[in-house]
């Protein structure tokens, strides 16, 4: 895959993502400037505080086994259902959300709940 196609895929993935706080611009994507390098550590610090639960909003979380977790949280005054894989950061040993996952609006979550019986039937049929 060429560099241009990789960038298009990255931009497409970012544009389709509802979870904007997972995006961190790379030097390749935005240029290698001192401003970008200085801004990046500040973002990581804010994320680690959120990951530790120091925010004002309460968060509901269910362990789905392995490294996967479902959580309900507030982001920019929106309630979101987040199903995500987590990893342990090698630098500071803190568990952080990974790239693999999906963030659902309450409306999308309600569609899943409404069709749960059909989903279970499909799992039994294929499983």
pLDDT per residue as tens digits for the range 29-40: 444 444 444 443
Q: Residue 59: what pLDDT?
A: 82
What's the CA gap between 64 and 127, in Å, rounded?
19
Tell me the Cα Rg of the chain: 18
Looking at per-residue pLDDT, the higher value among 3 and 117 belongs to 117
**58-111 confidence digits (pLDDT tens):** 789 999 999 999 999 999 999 999 999 999 999 999 999 999 999 999 999 999
Q: Residue 58: what pLDDT?
A: 74
What's the CA gap between 124 and 116, in Å, rounded?
12
Full set of structural domains in the chain with CATH: 3-126 (2.30.31.10)
């Amino acid at each position: 895959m060429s560099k241009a196609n990789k960038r298009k895929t990255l931009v497409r993935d970012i544009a389709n993502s509802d979870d904007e706080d997972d995006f961190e611009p790379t030097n390749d994507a935005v240029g290698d400037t001192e401003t970008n390098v200085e801004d990046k550590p500040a973002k990581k610090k804010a994320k680690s505080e959120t990951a530790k639960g120091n925010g004002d909003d309460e968060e509901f979380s269910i362990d789905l086994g392995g490294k996967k977790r479902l959580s309900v949280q507030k982001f920019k005054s929106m309630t979101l259902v987040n199903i995500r894989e987590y990893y342990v950061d090698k630098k500071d040993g803190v568990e952080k959300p990974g790239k693999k996952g999906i963030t659902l609006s309450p409306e999308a979550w309600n569609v899943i709940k409404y069709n749960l019986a059909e989903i279970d039937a499909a799992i039994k049929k294929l499983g």
